[in-house]
Amino acid sequence: MRTLIAFCLLYFLLLPMLGGALAFLGGMLRARFAEQRKAYAGYHPMNPFYRSSPYHFGKR
């Protein structure tokens, strides 16, 4: 029973967190090293293309 609980905790809690962290880092690195659009002037760590977004209401 203890093994089953440990497996469920690993499967439903630890693996999704690890997958989410890897997806976040992969997206950040992919956007950082993309050569199509340079978005470093208004760089935002969660969305590197924030300045070119239609939802960005700051200075353009």
Contact 39, 52 (CB under 8 A): yes
Nearest to 28 by CA among 50, 53, 54: 50
pTM of the model: 0.46
Torsion of CA 18, 32, 54, 19, to 10 degrees: -10
Predicted pLDDT of residue 31: 73
Predicted pLDDT of residue 12: 92
| Percent of the chain at pLDDT exceeding 90 | 18
Q: Would you tell me how many other CB atoms lie within 10 Å of the CB of residue 33?
A: 7
